Structure 1
């Protein structure tokens, strides 16, 4: 089993694990993005329910007709309701797993620990590999990791506030209510979904394009992809 995992990562995900500038199979990357699409979809439904859902839950034990109507002629009932509470334990663990997936794919050593990398590599084993440099993907996954951290703060504001206040030695963030506007994680989740959908369906990596733009601006350095991706076998066949 261990040998299969090593071979799978070596031959399908990475072109050569010993390369100074690793190259990964973009075909497997697109499959992996499709697998991970389930996470932003799940988070989008969670946030929609939390932000736009009702803050009250009717118990159903007490429903009394008041024998009155409102201005639209609708009957007014007196009910027993409780304030809705939210438990984001499951969402937190899902986000931590997503963060692990983002970070594990950035390095050769940790990529073997990712279930989605192993599965996507297995699914891509009969497809023609398309080798792309890992560095732009690292940049793209770093953006995804920042989105995930932001959502973790939204779902656990009191914990993050406690850390900040403990480090600062004074109250910098409130610990009794959520200080992050709800539109921030909602927008980030849909942006993340859009990025991953384009990666999966169109093969268009937005993070990679942003990395390329920063390289052109001189803010980042990038090696020559064409020079590092020569196919000598194909070149010999053309002679």
Structure 2
């Protein structure tokens, strides 16, 4: 058990260039996909549904009609209030998961990493470098942070105003346009769905592009991770196949 907790999804926790098991990582992406899905449904309810609650049991006929002949009723309606403690807790947990997976020490405290490593124990591992994953998870941290601010504008504005020493942000109004978190939550869902189902890491591709452009200076981990034994094995198998085909051809003649 101690070896399991030490190793987790890392090929070797003592390597200078860390590699993680992509099989377990994709399982984890599928589990954490629940968080942006829940946020998406929450935002749809908040942004696109009515902010009024009408009690149909209190509807009373006024015995009057409007200009279009529609019967008018009086009803009791209350303004909807929103409480985001559950959403905030989920987002904070998602932030913890994103940050915990970036380092060997903190990975031991991630329930999803432990669970997915255990579930993938009998599946041949696929080793991928951790650095591009860190970059991808940092994008997730940014998106979750913006959603946290959207759900808690008063708290965030109070922190900024106290830190700045002036009324920089309004503490009574939402200062983030609704389309920003609505758009980003679907981006997050798309990224995690591609990762979980197809193993396609958009953040990793962006990281590779930035490395190619020279914006990020990073060594080529794939170049340093060449499996020469596997290459030799494939070469021998190919040579044996050629010799076998040549032998069959000679026998036919």
TM-score of the pair, normalised by structure 1? 0.93
Separation (CA, whole Å) in 1 of partners of 2:176 and 2:93 = 22
The within-5 A match list for 1:201-212 is 201-212=197-208
Separation (CA, whole Å) in 1 of partners of 2:104 and 2:225 = 18
The within-5 A match list for 1:1-239 is 3=2, 6-7=3-4, 10=7, 13-60=9-56, 62-235=58-231, 237-238=233-234, 239=236
In the alignment, structure 2 segments of 5+ residues that lack a partner are 237-253
Displaced runs of 4 or more, over 4 A: none
For these two proteins, the number of residue pairs brought into alignment is 235
Separation (CA, whole Å) in 1 of partners of 2:13 and 2:69 = 72
- Check the 8 A contact 1:131/1:229 in 2, yes or no: no
Offset at residue 73 of structure 1 (A): 3.9
SS state at 2:26 partner: helix
Offset at residue 194 of structure 1 (A): 0.3
- Check the 8 A contact 1:9/1:121 in 2, yes or no: no
TM-score of the pair, normalised by structure 2? 0.88
- Check the 8 A contact 2:17/2:221 in 1, yes or no: no
Offset at residue 60 of structure 1 (A): 4.3
Once the two structures are overlaid, the 10-residue window that deviates more, 219-228 or 86-95, is: 219-228
SS state at 1:13 partner: coil
Offset at residue 8 of structure 1 (A): 5.2
In the alignment, structure 1 segments of 5+ residues that lack a partner are none
Once the two structures are overlaid, the 10-residue window that deviates more, 123-132 or 229-238, is: 229-238
Offset at residue 72 of structure 1 (A): 4.6
